[in-house]
Structure 1
Amino acid sequence: MKAWQVHELGEPRDVLKLDDVAEPEPAAGQVKVKVLAAPANFPDVLLCRGEYQVKPPLPFTPGVELCGEVVAVGAGVTRAAVGDRVVGNPILPGGAFAEYAVLPQESTFAAPSALDDAEASALTIGYQTAWFALHRRTQIREGDYLLVHAAAGGVGSAAVQLGKAAGATVIGVVGGPAKAKYAQDLGADLVIDRHSEDFVPIVKEFTKGHGADIVFDPVGGDAYNGSTKCIAFEGRIVIIGFAGGTIPRPALNHALIKNYSIVGLHWGLYHAKGPQVIDECHVELTRLADKGLVKPLISERLPLTEVADGIGRLGDGSTVGRVVFQP
């Protein structure tokens, strides 16, 4: 089969090679799928660079989520059967940017019928991360002001839709006019282009001095620092990642004086600490998809042959919305 492989670490365009490799076979408790769609995620960029928290042995195939058709199952599998359309997270080093992949059954979920293959493929990591951030870690409430950084990105776009579904007023911060249009299409109530505007005074004015009740921050750096200046009383800043490249050093005296919380989220830990909660999350996301309240907006649907360029552009920050590869 065809699969993109990384033989040495570096920038995606330089190290991703389309190879012929043997098809994987499922072991006990595993599900083999024909890949129908696989989205680009920022962890794929970090995997190529060797900067992700998971470091698979070389060579490996990146691609951390997919939608696929089950073609074989290992012994003891009860969550999927041959012919099912599923979404989930493949087992590295055999990722989703290939014609076939293997998933552990605990990371395999029924694909929502309301979503097509490309849309369904983008429903696990980004949407589950955003759901845990908003519903488990910051307890979003109807009427909250939610400030989302990188609102046109994979996880930020999910936070915008889930925030609206929860009844929040959503403020999205993006970089550039094309990304601003995408965030508006997602349903953000206010979109701020950080390339031309300072989000801090705009958030204060828009919220009539109240500030953001929840800040969703996958960026770090200046995004985090500015957020501390427009956070509400009893506000919560949830740390998702550091796509901006700079890890902030929080001034804890400032959090004390302004009475706000700094909350971390590591979505992957829930697989070990509370896998039943991930199942509950998928049920809720499926319900919201069926009601039309969440729907990944796919900006590019590309053939498998364009993975290296697509992941490279994601790493450059030049993509808008979700980029999905379909073999």
Structure 2
Amino acid sequence: MKAVVFEQFGEPSEVLRVRDVPIPEPGPGEVRVRMIASPVNPSDLLVVRGRYGVLPSLPSTPGFEGVGVVDKVGSGLLGWLVKGKRVTVINHKGGNWAEYAVIPARQARPVAQDIPDEQVASFFVNPATVLAMARHVLAVPKGEWLLQSAAGSVLGRMMIKLGRHDGFKTLNVVRRREAMAELQAMGADAVISSSDGPIADQVRKIVGSEGVKYAIDPVGGETGTGVFQSLAPDARMLVYGTLSQQPLQIDPRLMIAGKRIVEGFWLGHWMRERSIPSALRLFREIANLIRADVLATEIGKSFPIDAIGDAVREAEQVGRHGKVLLQTGSR
């Protein structure tokens, strides 16, 4: 089969290659999926660069999520329950940028046929992260402000739509002023640009001198620090990425005096704490919100697996709209 492989960490467009490799065989409790498509996510590219929290041994194939059809199963009941079905392919070790992938049977989740393949391909990482942070971890009440950085990202846009749906207000930080009007047009309650001055000053002009009670940040560095400085006493901030590769600068006096809480969020850790019924409820929530166009992924360009270099370059274009998909097969 064809698979995207990297033998050393580095820039994705330079180190990723398409190789002919043996088709994998499922072991006990595993299934093999004939892949249809997989998105190019920021987390995938961080792995290739060697900057993700957990790194594979090399050589390796990227790809944490995707869509495909289960074509072979190992021993165990769960595998037989999904054999022949189209599933969202949750691959916590990576490996979906290939024509076939082997995953634990419990990570192959059938999705209703009325949801298109391209939405199933991006069914998990962004939609589940948005729901988990807003509804389950922070539990943002109706009418409250949620401050988020990187608001122009696919995930950021989903959060704006979820805010409109659930009744909380979003205060959105972007780098480029050109993105402000677009986010406002899609329902953002307020948008600020980090290029227009300190984030905390701009935030308090909108919400008042106390600041915001809920915030999320995938950037770190100066942006994440500005988000932290915007917090009200008794506020809670989730850090779910390090796009800047720079640390937060946190004044401990603000944490001590105001009881502000800053904590990390990693979807994989959060999901492992969920029971099977809880996980199934989450997937039903996601499916219903995709149907309602709340957590539907905006899809950008698609590339065949042989054009992996073009795919990763497109995925990192500044101002790009929509998720880039890698087409690894067909139904």
Q: TM-score, normalised by structure 1?
A: 0.88
8 Å CA contact 2:92, 2:268 repeated in 1: no
Alpha-carbon displacement from aligned partner over 1:201-237 (angstroms, at most 9, x marks no partner): 3322232445322111011111221113322343211
- Partner AA of 2:41 in structure 1: N
Q: Number of paired residues?
A: 326
Gaps of 5+ in 2: none
8 Å CA contact 2:302, 2:311 repeated in 1: no
**CA deviation after TM superposition for structure 1 residue 18, in Å:** 0.9
2:283 corresponds in structure 1 to 282
C-alpha separation in 1, matches of 2:159 and 2:32: 30
8 Å CA contact 2:237, 2:261 repeated in 1: yes
**CA deviation after TM superposition for structure 1 residue 37, in Å:** 1.8
1:6 aligns with 2:12: no
**CA deviation after TM superposition for structure 1 residue 196, in Å:** 4.8
Cα RMSD after superposing both structures? 2.5
Listed as ranges, the matches of 1:64-143 within 5 Å are 64-78=64-78, 80-90=81-91, 92=93, 95-143=95-143
**CA deviation after TM superposition for structure 1 residue 181, in Å:** 6.0
C-alpha separation in 1, matches of 2:77 and 2:182: 40
**CA deviation after TM superposition for structure 1 residue 153, in Å:** 2.2
Secondary structure of 2:229's aligned partner: coil
Identity of aligned residues (%): 27
2:148 corresponds in structure 1 to 148
Secondary structure of 1:247's aligned partner: coil
C-alpha separation in 2, matches of 1:221 and 1:176: 17
Alpha-carbon displacement from aligned partner over 1:90-117 (angstroms, at most 9, x marks no partner): 2636x11112212212222222445321
C-alpha separation in 1, matches of 2:253 and 2:305: 50
C-alpha separation in 2, matches of 1:189 and 1:195: 19
Alpha-carbon displacement from aligned partner over 1:250-270 (angstroms, at most 9, x marks no partner): 222112334422122122113
1:300 aligns with 2:321: no
1:23 corresponds in structure 2 to 23
1:309 corresponds in structure 2 to 310
C-alpha separation in 2, matches of 1:156 and 1:240: 12
- Partner AA of 1:220 in structure 2: G
2:247 corresponds in structure 1 to 247
Residues 270 and 238 (structure 1 numbering): CA distance in 2 closer, same or farther, change over 3 Å? closer
1:173 corresponds in structure 2 to 173
8 Å CA contact 1:11, 1:312 repeated in 2: no
Q: Which stretch of the first structure deviates more once superposed, 67-76 or 194-203?
A: 194-203
8 Å CA contact 1:270, 1:278 repeated in 2: no
C-alpha separation in 2, matches of 1:181 and 1:118: 27
1:322 corresponds in structure 2 to 323
8 Å CA contact 2:194, 2:223 repeated in 1: no
C-alpha separation in 1, matches of 2:132 and 2:36: 26
2:47 corresponds in structure 1 to 47
8 Å CA contact 1:4, 1:19 repeated in 2: yes
**CA deviation after TM superposition for structure 1 residue 70, in Å:** 2.0
Secondary structure of 1:78's aligned partner: helix
Residues 86 and 324 (structure 1 numbering): CA distance in 2 closer, same or farther, change over 3 Å? same
- Partner AA of 1:143 in structure 2: G
**CA deviation after TM superposition for structure 1 residue 295, in Å:** 0.9
Residues 179 and 7 (structure 1 numbering): CA distance in 2 closer, same or farther, change over 3 Å? farther
- Partner AA of 1:70 in structure 2: V
**CA deviation after TM superposition for structure 1 residue 238, in Å:** 0.8
Secondary structure of 2:301's aligned partner: strand
C-alpha separation in 1, matches of 2:30 and 2:185: 38
C-alpha separation in 1, matches of 2:182 and 2:85: 32
- Partner AA of 1:162 in structure 2: L
C-alpha separation in 1, matches of 2:251 and 2:231: 14
C-alpha separation in 2, matches of 1:125 and 1:69: 19
Residues 291 and 228 (structure 1 numbering): CA distance in 2 closer, same or farther, change over 3 Å? same
8 Å CA contact 1:216, 1:237 repeated in 2: yes
